[in-house]
Amino acid sequence: MDKNDRVIISDAAWAWEGLRRNRVYRRAWLRHERARPRICDARASLRYIRLDRPYIEAETFGLISFADPDHSASEVPVFWRPNLLRRALQVSLTVKLETEQNGFSLSSLKCCPTVLDTVDGERHIRLGGHHFWIQMVSQDITQLDDDTSIEVNLTGTNHLPQRISSIEQLFSLHRSEDGMPSPVKRPPNRDKLLEGLLAWDIYYGQNDDTGTLKDIAIALFGEGRIAHEWGHNRSLKDRAIRARDRGQAFVQGGYFELLKRASF
């Protein structure tokens, strides 16, 4: 992840950027890699996965099942536990004729959903995965095709503002022409988060190729400035330390808190 990357990504995708750097998670992934769930239907209109068992260890990291940490969330089926991702929507799924539909359907959303069925009879649907992230859960294991109708069950008051925001995003996606909802304003403090992940990558590395605080400062401020000021400007080192510590805190569990208040 580069410091100059200013692309707006969803907070659920930010959280994955933290978790996939977590060394404990990466070791757990290696233990389960051979048993990872496979995509069993990769039609152009959807990606479908069926779990043959629960993944208890993955759940301790906030996931429903393991996903490959070498890839971004747009490339692999990352599903957060709905009780952790407070914007997740409870939905009902039915198959209706096109003439009977007056709401959302898979075809009306104009994007490729990822669908995951668990052994306990829950169906999880993820729309997006990078610029936006809408995650839904249903007890209806019904036929999956373009005519599948989606009805949102907005019951109870728990996390209601977050769920309403998800519905607004879903409606924007429904009305879009290109399978992308309306752009959103970049949430505050994401530049600091980006600095933290950049510092983590430099200082801790993934393949024992670790750097120093000075390397972090060069990435943040440029080699020229560090060459002239590193020896006497204490604020540069302090900024590098804060970025390193921020990245470490996020990777080692801070992403949980981001999910609870996640924006798009």
pLDDT on residue 4: 45
- Within 8 A by CB and 6+ apart from 19, the residues are 25, 61, 62, 63, 69, 251, 255
pLDDT on residue 208: 64
The gap between the terminal CA atoms of the chain, to the nearest Å, is: 19
The tokens for 195 are: 């600095």
Q: pLDDT by residue (tens digit) across 36-58? A: 777 777 666 788 899 988 999 99
Burial class (CB in 10 A: 0-12, 13-18, 19+), 27: exposed
- Alpha carbons 38 and 1: distance in angstroms, whole number: 27
Q: pLDDT by residue (tens digit) across 143-179? A: 777 778 888 988 888 888 889 989 998 998 888 888 8
pLDDT on residue 7: 58
Q: pLDDT by residue (tens digit) across 252-263? A: 999 999 998 776
- pTM of the predicted protein model: 0.88
Give 180's pLDDT tier (boundaries 50, 70, 90): confident
Nearest one of 183, 204, 207 to 250, comparing CA atoms: 204
Cβ(97)–Cβ(147) below 8 Å? yes
Q: 252-257 long-range contacts, Cβ below 8 Å, gap at least 24?
A: 252/22, 254/18, 255/14, 255/15, 255/16, 255/18, 255/19, 255/62, 256/15, 256/62, 256/84
